[in-house]
Amino acid sequence: MSVSNFAQQASKPSKILTYETINPHVKRVEYAVRGELAICAERIKDELSNGYSHNYRFDTVVNCNIGNPQQLKQKPITFFRQVASLMEYPDLLLPENRKQIEFLYPTDAIERARRLLKQIGSIGAYSHSQGIPCIRDNVAKFIEERDGYPAEQSSIFLTQGASAGVQSILQLLIAHSNVGIMIPIPQYPLYTATLALYDAQPVPYYLDEEKDWGLDISQLASSLSEGRSKGLDIRALVIINPGNPTGQCLTEQNMREIIDFCHKERIILMADEVYQTNIYQPAERPFHSFKKVLRSMGEKYEQFELFSFHSVSKGMIGECGRRGGYYECTGIDSPVVDQLYKLASVSLCPNVQGQIMVDLMVQPPKCGDESYALYQKELSGIYESLRRRSIKLSECFNQLEGVTCNNAQGSMYLFPQIRLPQKSIEAARQASKQPDEFYCLAMLNATGVCVVPGSGFGQKADTWHFRSTFLPPEELFDGFCERLQRFHHEFFEKYRD
């Protein structure tokens, strides 16, 4: 590690803190989802809103680079926002406002807010660092009902989104720079970014594009043995299910094999399950939680160590800006849980409105409640539309020359492969860009559509992809696909070999 003493840099008197002197691990972090493409898209947005629209053949930028539903006009769940609104301003619940409140809010939202306020007190106070106990109780009940196996509130940590939870667990696991963490390729770049930041080694295993991005257990074994042969201390396996950016959904059988593999190899499992309700082939590919599959495997696996992550940002809820989520510790030694609590306490607590959204996610209106019908209608409206959009977009991609795209079994993304013309690959190299990045930049400049190059997620050598959400509003889809197709055709004409 290079040691540069600030005070001795007499040759560079102007600035003390420079790119050269900062933490080298920070420099190594890459996060393509908000990388160069996204920064470029922001710049174009600014130009458009400052009257420079004549520079472009489109009038809006569409951010397909990030799973951010409400940015793309997805409406929030009404009941959730009603409760949150009452929590913000409890004076609304005073007797003198009764008439107005009963006009504006349904009874069950008022009751829920009253109950939460009684349990929590002010949302302006720091809560328990692990999360408000009664909300953790509700999360435990939710998990029990989902899985049919017990869960305990003391094993649940509320977090500022799933990302914060993943980062805490990786921070705990990374005891030295020789720690290896197995991650899928393609992967969500939170994982490589965090491993770079905390100075650990990614140990990649490849998903099989030919088999709907399926996970082959022999891939895990060969990846593990390759990592170990380099002397790495391989501590955990990350599974993203449903997949991001790849959208696959694991079968129960496959999950059993994965658990068995980790058990045999003494590896901790980290299950990123934030897309658990984004399931588009529920009959053939339903979601199973790793916790449930693990418990169904009986006593032999009782001591198995698993961290499972969930979030309010995805699903039909899409409350990304809220920063709310949780993780469950299964089979984790209690002195280790104590250390996680201590770590959480340094940051005091997750934001309380995020915690309340977790409560609402795990306890939505029930059959018989005043808000149930509207809740169901909103939920299924968003769900059905997402499913339609996922199909529409994969059809659009599959019609493009040289492009193939698997259907999304789950999540919010498609990850099409583009067989780029050799000339475009050479043009990219001359522009010091990755070929897929070059293609995506051209797409952004021609159409206003911002996607993320496959190189930001990892991909097999000499294959090129991009990730696109299917979140733009449905009514824009035809125009959107048309613009994409026109651009793609022109790009291929220009660089045809």
Establish if 140 lies at the interface with a second copy (CB under 8 A): no
Smallest gap from residue 198 Cβ to a second copy (A): 8
Establish if 339 lies at the interface with a second copy (CB under 8 A): yes
Site string for a second copy, 75-104 (x = CB under 8 A): -x-x--xx-xxx-xx-xx----x--xx-xx
The SS3 call for residue 164 is: helix
Smallest gap from residue 70 Cβ to a second copy (A): 4
Query: Which CB atom, from 53 or from 351, has the smaller least distance to a second copy?
Result: 351
Q: Which one of residues 139, 164, 414, 481 is an interface residue with a second copy (CB under 8 A)?
A: 164
How far is it, in rounded angstroms, from Cα 309 to Cα 313?
Answer: 12
Establish if 116 lies at the interface with a second copy (CB under 8 A): no
Smallest gap from residue 284 Cβ to a second copy (A): 31
Smallest gap from residue 3 Cβ to a second copy (A): 5
Establish if 381 lies at the interface with a second copy (CB under 8 A): no
Query: Which CB atom, from 177 or from 463, has the smaller least distance to a second copy?
Result: 177
What letter represents residue 114's amino acid? R
Establish if 228 lies at the interface with a second copy (CB under 8 A): yes
Stretch of residues binding a second copy (CB under 8 A), selected from 336-344, 406-414, 418-426, 451-459 = 336-344
Could you tell me which residues come within 8 angstroms of residue 415 by beta carbon, excluding any fewer than 6 positions away? 186, 213, 245, 246, 247, 405, 406, 454, 457, 465, 466, 467
Binders in 461-480 for a second copy, by CB under 8 A: none
Binders in 53-72 for a second copy, by CB under 8 A: 66, 68-71
Per DSSP, the residues of 290-346 read HHHHHHHT-GGGTT--EEEEEESSSTTT--GGG--EEEEEES--HHHHHHHHHHHHH
What per-residue string of b and e applies to 39-66 under the rule 16 or more CB within 10 Å gives b?
A: ebbeebeeebeeeeeeebebeebbbbbb
Binders in 340-359 for a second copy, by CB under 8 A: 342-343, 345-354
Query: Which CB atom, from 59 or from 126, has the smaller least distance to a second copy?
Result: 126
Query: Which CB atom, from 38 or from 425, has the smaller least distance to a second copy?
Result: 38
Residues recorded for the chain: 497
Smallest gap from residue 428 Cβ to a second copy (A): 23
How far is it, in rounded angstroms, from Cα 271 to Cα 330?
Answer: 11
Establish if 221 lies at the interface with a second copy (CB under 8 A): no
Task: Identify whether the C-beta of residue 454 lies closer than 8 Å to the C-beta of residue 416.
Answer: no
Binders in 384-443 for a second copy, by CB under 8 A: none
Binders in 175-194 for a second copy, by CB under 8 A: 175-178, 190, 193-194
Per DSSP, the residues of 388-447 read HHHHHHHHHHHTSTTEE-PPPSBSSEE--EE---HHHHHHHHHTTS-HHHHHHHHHHHHH
Smallest gap from residue 185 Cβ to a second copy (A): 19
Site string for a second copy, 8-47 (x = CB under 8 A): -x----xxxxxx-xxxx-xx-x-x-xxx------x-----
Smallest gap from residue 58 Cβ to a second copy (A): 19
Q: Which one of residues 145, 333, 493, 497 is an interface residue with a second copy (CB under 8 A)?
A: 333
Could you tell me which residues come within 8 angstroms of residue 332 by beta carbon, excluding any fewer than 6 positions away? 155, 305, 307
Binders in 237-276 for a second copy, by CB under 8 A: 265-268
Q: Which one of residues 37, 62, 129, 239 is an interface residue with a second copy (CB under 8 A)?
A: 129
Smallest gap from residue 479 Cβ to a second copy (A): 21
**Among candidate residues 87, 292, 271, the one with its CA nearest the CA of residue 165:** 271
Could you tell me which residues come within 8 angstroms of residue 166 by beta carbon, excluding any fewer than 6 positions away? 190, 191, 194, 270, 272, 309, 327
Smallest gap from residue 66 Cβ to a second copy (A): 7
**Among candidate residues 71, 69, 61, the one with its CA nearest the CA of residue 40:** 61
Q: ∠ CA 452-444-465 to the nearest 5 degrees? A: 35
Q: By CB under 8 A, how many residues form the interface with a second copy?
A: 108
- For residue 368, what are its two tokens? 């018989």
What letter represents residue 52's amino acid? Y
Could you tell me which residues come within 8 angstroms of residue 493 by beta carbon, excluding any fewer than 6 positions away? none
Smallest gap from residue 469 Cβ to a second copy (A): 12
Query: Which CB atom, from 373 or from 426, has the smaller least distance to a second copy?
Result: 373
Query: Which CB atom, from 125 or from 367, has the smaller least distance to a second copy?
Result: 125
How far is it, in rounded angstroms, from Cα 214 to Cα 217?
Answer: 10
Establish if 283 lies at the interface with a second copy (CB under 8 A): no
Smallest gap from residue 486 Cβ to a second copy (A): 28
Query: Which CB atom, from 81 or from 146, has the smaller least distance to a second copy?
Result: 81
